[in-house]
Amino acid sequence: MIGALSVAADMAVGLSAGHGIRAAYVGMQVADRLKLPHDQRADLFYAELMMDAGCTAWASQIAATVLGDDIAARRHLFFFCDPRDPRDLLKWLARYMAAGESLGTRVRHSLDFVVRGRAFMQEGLENTCEVAARLAHRLGRSSGVQEGLRFIFEQWDGSGPHRRRAATIPIVSRIVFATLLIEVTHQIGGRDAALQLVRARRGKALDPDVVDAFVALGEDDAFWRGLEQESIWPMVREMEPDSRDRSLRSDRIDEAACAFADFADLKSFYSAGHSRRVAALAEQMAQALALPSPDVTAVRRAGLLHDIGLVAVPSFVLHKPEDRLTDAERESLRLHPYYAERILSYVPAFAPIIPLVTSHHEQPDGRGYFRGLSGDAIPAGASVLAVADRFDELTHAGPGRAAVDDGAAIEAIRASAGLVFSREAVEALAHVAPARAGESAPETASAREPKGARPAGLTDREVDVLRLLATGASRRSIAERLSVSEHTVRHHLEHIYAKIDVRTRVEATLFAIEHALIQ
């Protein structure tokens, strides 16, 4: 399960699939050299695989800043640019900042980044770490894994986001930070480049002991041959230390699927809570069609995971109106079921739902994607999922379009019945939509609370503010929509953050998603 999340995160940060897995290979061998205790080795193993689990947390903000391919821009900025070097920063700005926009827009966004870029990057790293730690908690990982992820970008000399220094940084964090840099550098420049990198950063960004352990490993040709294997996952799985966290009970699969869903839905302001709502509606539709119980379960889980492949698509593309997409951008969107198949294939428990996820954009007339299936070749569960997905899109605002009411959404979908959507699935939607409430989404906190109760003691007005915040609204926009002052909104946010124990907008958004507050 965590290997699949690792591969999804690799795609989301624009690195080659297996980046986290290869980093885990390096990290576990460094741990051997350092003679880490067993518990820390187990924490390290999971932290290596989850190093980028929070990477979708800041994607929307990056996209809004660079007005372009946020995946490529972030990858280059983090791995191949020194923001403290004006020459490096100017090259990055020239290449990525508002590329394709007018000169005035490019200058305005570039100047804004020069002034606020350092604070913006620090906020992004903090959001990434906090969300990764939160997902680790939800997947049952230890406090050591969570802490290791929370401080993953700290640097030995104290120049990281939290300004932790030397031994005050958890050893798990120190190793993971080194291995993520080592793996990327090795992929691009080979063995010598990786060794040169760690030697140059020894005692600065990197722990000297971790560097020395890796340099010693670098003298062993067998270590490099293992790292350079085409299929390294089976070997890395064998490195997993024995611990109580090795297995996930089958009754917790839905919890894990929810974590994957939320990871994907953080990619865009428009998609907060989307996968949970689709899962709830698709489950009700499958029941209305009297599908067998195992098929209903598969439909629900497929609803949670249907958009996991979107992590490989830049948020900038997800924020563009459909009629403004370029051919290349449209093609990247059409490939998201393929990316989902690659991710989910790592999890045997997800095998029954892969055909539903990969087929949820196929059409009865054969004009869907990504395989161009038609008619009876499309699984019934995928047809249900397609209708539920489209209904949720229409009833919630998207790029360049407002939400419509349920009746209008049903009629728009019914107009395409038999061509774009299955007739049976459309009728199932018409049957269940009037009673849809969303509380059947699995493992949401609100489903376990008394009707009318609010999580963490939030008031109704605070929930209204949180909902708007989670969909990307600014404080000014929230104030206008609720007919209050910005000062009042700021006051509400202070109370909300204190009550739900978060520090950032992204954490607040994740809380709102987890508690089904975005309907």
Q: Which two tokens stand for residue 30?
A: 């460094």
Q: How many CB atoms lie within 10 A of CB 407?
A: 11
Q: Which residues pair with 398 in a beta bridge?
A: 401
229 and 258 fall within a common domain:
no
Q: Which residues pair with 417 in a beta bridge?
A: 421
Torsion over CA: 123, 307, 421, 373 (sign): positive
In a domain, 335, yes or no: yes
Please list the alpha-helical segments (H only) found in 266-359.
Answer: 274-288, 293-305, 315-318, 327-334, 336-344, 354-358
Number of domains in the chain: 3
In a domain, 221, yes or no: yes
In a domain, 331, yes or no: yes
In a domain, 198, yes or no: yes
260 and 171 fall within a common domain:
no
277 and 393 fall within a common domain:
yes
87 and 166 fall within a common domain:
yes
| DSSP H or E run through 412 | helix 406-414
Q: In whole angstroms, what is the distance from residue 258 CA to residue 301 CA?
A: 9
Those residues with Cβ within 8 angstroms of residue 8's Cβ, 6 or more apart along the chain or in another chain = 260, 263, 264, 308, 311, 343
Among candidate residues 435, 467, 495, the one where a domain is terminated: 435
Measured CA to CA in angstroms, residue 254 lies from 251, 298, 350, 406, 407 at distances of 7, 10, 11, 27, 30
Nearest CA among 110, 127, 128, 117 for reference residue 13: 128
In a domain, 440, yes or no: no
How much is the pLDDT for 433? 85
Nearest CA among 385, 411, 409, 384 for reference residue 398: 409
Q: In whole angstroms, what is the distance from residue 127 CA to residue 121 CA?
A: 10
Measured CA to CA in angstroms, residue 460 lies from 138, 401, 469, 494 at distances of 26, 27, 14, 15
Q: Is 405 left (phi over 0), alpha (psi -120 to 50) or beta?
A: beta
Among candidate residues 410, 435, 460, the one where a domain is terminated: 435
366 and 383 fall within a common domain:
yes
117 and 200 fall within a common domain:
yes
Q: For the purposes of burial, counting CB atoms within 10 Å of the CB of 243, is it exposed (0-12), middle (13-18) or buried (19 or more)? A: middle
How much is the pLDDT for 519? 77
316 and 398 fall within a common domain:
yes
479 and 360 fall within a common domain:
no
Looking at the whole model, is its pTM more than 0.75?
yes
243 and 258 fall within a common domain:
no
- The single-letter code of the amino acid at 295 is D
13 and 41 fall within a common domain:
yes
The CATH number assigned to the domain holding 110 equals: 1.10.3210.10
How much is the pLDDT for 439? 42
> DSSP strand E in 136-214: where?
none
Domain encompassing residue 319: 250-435
Among candidate residues 403, 435, 467, the one where a domain is terminated: 435
- Whether residue 56 contacts residue 266, with contact meaning beta carbons closer than 8 Å, is answered with yes
Nearest CA among 321, 275, 251 for reference residue 441: 275
In a domain, 203, yes or no: yes
Measured CA to CA in angstroms, residue 105 lies from 73, 97, 331, 351, 480 at distances of 17, 9, 27, 47, 26
In a domain, 216, yes or no: yes
In a domain, 38, yes or no: yes
Q: In whole angstroms, what is the distance from residue 217 CA to residue 496 CA?
A: 49
The CATH number assigned to the domain holding 466 equals: 1.10.10.10
Q: In whole angstroms, what is the distance from residue 337 CA to residue 388 CA?
A: 16
Nearest CA among 261, 239, 252, 258 for reference residue 309: 261
Q: Which two tokens stand for residue 50?
A: 């989850």
- Whether residue 361 contacts residue 304, with contact meaning beta carbons closer than 8 Å, is answered with no
Q: In whole angstroms, what is the distance from residue 157 CA to residue 395 CA?
A: 50
Q: In whole angstroms, what is the distance from residue 53 CA to residue 149 CA?
A: 9
How much is the pLDDT for 448? 38
- How confident is the chain (519 residues) per 10-residue block, as mean pLDDT? 95 93 98 96 97 92 92 91 85 93 94 90 90 93 96 95 95 98 96 97 97 97 95 95 85 92 94 95 97 96 98 95 94 96 94 97 96 95 98 94 94 96 97 63 42 82 93 90 94 95 89 88
26 and 118 fall within a common domain:
yes
141 and 272 fall within a common domain:
no
How much is the pLDDT for 452? 57
Q: In whole angstroms, what is the distance from residue 392 CA to residue 240 CA?
A: 40
